[in-house]
């Protein structure tokens, strides 16, 4: 049995990344990436591993050359999510296999590499089910308990500097899977950007940074820094 509680056959590598790091490498949402997705059959085995790892998301790359990606929270499979796709794109480049497109179940996601930032492009209709709520100040957002009372995915935010498009935010899945607060959430950032109709510089969680920019066709680019936290082995 390995550290995740998974038992079975030959071990495969799990890259643990911090996605949407702030300046000087602070913050970042932990992400598990299984580059050899074929080691875990789609369905219950992947869901079980995601639950045992306990990260807000774990992504399996089924075809690295084509960018086929399968995303799981500890309790469910997602058609699209921002930080897993940014992290997967960054890792593929680090492994010498950069891609121009990722292919999660939602559809084709364009990828761009720009210095220390990795960008993916999503559509608002891929990020449904997340409610945003504006607060009067960053201090009010910071004072919220984790999670606040209520049900359903909540993205709490306030302007840090409205003219500059700078936002303070915190994300609360509230779905009973052990994730009280998401350190950085690309899909929620996409939703907020769509609602406000402008590029944003979002400072989320304890120290994360997410950049967004709307596209003329209604799509939204989501960008951030990524850092490698560790490489583990998990049994298949």
160: left (phi over 0), alpha (psi -120 to 50) or beta: alpha
In a domain, 109, yes or no: no
Q: How many CA atoms lie within 13 A of 76 on its CB side?
A: 9
Same domain, 131 and 201: yes
pLDDT for 1 equals 34
Within this chain, do residues 135 and 100 fall inside the same structural domain, yes or no? no
pLDDT in tens, 32-79: 999 999 999 888 999 999 999 999 999 999 999 999 999 999 999 999
What is the reported pLDDT for 4?
A: 43
How confident is the model over 154-199, as pLDDT tens digits? 999 999 999 999 999 999 999 989 999 999 999 999 999 999 999 9
Question: How much is the pLDDT for 118?
Answer: 98
pLDDT of amino acid 6: 43
Same domain, 216 and 199: yes
pLDDT of residue 9: 63
Q: Does 112 reside within a domain?
A: no
Whether residue 82 sits in one domain with residue 43: yes
If asked whether residues 217 and 131 sit together in one domain, one would say yes
> Does pTM surpass 0.85?
yes
Domain count, the chain: 2
Residues 140 and 96 in one domain: no
pLDDT tens, 130-163?
A: 999 999 999 999 999 999 999 999 999 999 999 9
pLDDT of residue 8: 52
Q: What CATH number should be reported for the domain holding residue 82?
A: 3.10.310.10
- Residue 201 in domain: yes
Question: CA-to-CA distance for 137 and 55, rounded, in angstroms?
Answer: 29
pLDDT of residue 43: 87
Does 203 or 26 have the greater pLDDT score?
203
Examine residue 121 and state whether it is found in any structural domain, yes or no.
no
- Do 96 and 154 have their domain in common? no
Q: For residue 3, is pLDDT > 50? A: no
Q: Kindly state whether residues 219 and 231 are assigned to the same domain.
A: no
Same structural domain, 134 and 89: no
| Residue 25 confidence class, pLDDT cut points 50, 70, 90 | confident
96-125 pLDDT, tens digit each: 999 999 999 999 999 999 999 999 999 999
- Expressed as residue numbers, the domain containing 138 is 126-223
Residue of 154, 153, 161 whose CA lies nearest to 198:
161
Q: Specify if 114 maps to a domain.
A: no
Same domain, 36 and 51: yes
* Residue 111 placed within a domain: no
Asked if residue 175 and residue 95 are part of one domain, the reply reads no
In a domain, 188, yes or no: yes
Considering the domain boundaries, does residue 5 fall inside one?
no
* DSSP assignments along 46-90, one per residue: HHHHHHHH--SEEEEEEETTTTEEEEE-SS-EES--HHHHHHHHH
- Both 28 and 99 in one domain: the answer is yes
């Amino acid at each position: 049995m390995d550290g995740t509680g998974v038992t079975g056959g030959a071990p495969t590598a799990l890259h643990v990344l911090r996605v949407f790091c702030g300046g000087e490498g602070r913050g970042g949402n932990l992400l598990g990436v299984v580059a050899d997705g074929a080691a875990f059959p789609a369905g219950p085995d992947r869901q079980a591993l995601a639950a045992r790892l306990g990260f807000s998301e774990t992504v399996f790359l089924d075809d690295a050359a084509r960018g086929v990606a399968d995303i799981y929270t500890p309790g469910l499979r997602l058609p699209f999510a921002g930080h897993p796709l940014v992290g997967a794109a960054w890792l593929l480049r680090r492994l010498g296999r950069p891609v121009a497109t990722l292919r999660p179940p939602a559809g084709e996601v364009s990828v761009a590499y720009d210095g220390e930032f990795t960008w993916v492009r999503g559509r608002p209709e891929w990020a449904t089910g997340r409610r945003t709520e504006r607060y009067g100040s960053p201090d009010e957002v910071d004072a919220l308990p984790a999670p606040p009372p209520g049900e359903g995915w909540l993205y709490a935010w306030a302007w840090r500097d409205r003219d500059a498009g700078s936002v303070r935010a915190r994300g609360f899945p509230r779905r009973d899977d052990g994730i009280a607060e998401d350190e950085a959430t690309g899909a929620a950032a996409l939703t907020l950007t769509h609602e406000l109709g402008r590029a944003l510089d979002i400072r989320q969680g304890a120290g994360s940074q997410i950049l967004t920019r709307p596209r003329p066709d209604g799509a939204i680019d989501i960008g951030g820094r990524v850092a490698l936290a560790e490489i583990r082995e998990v049994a298949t």
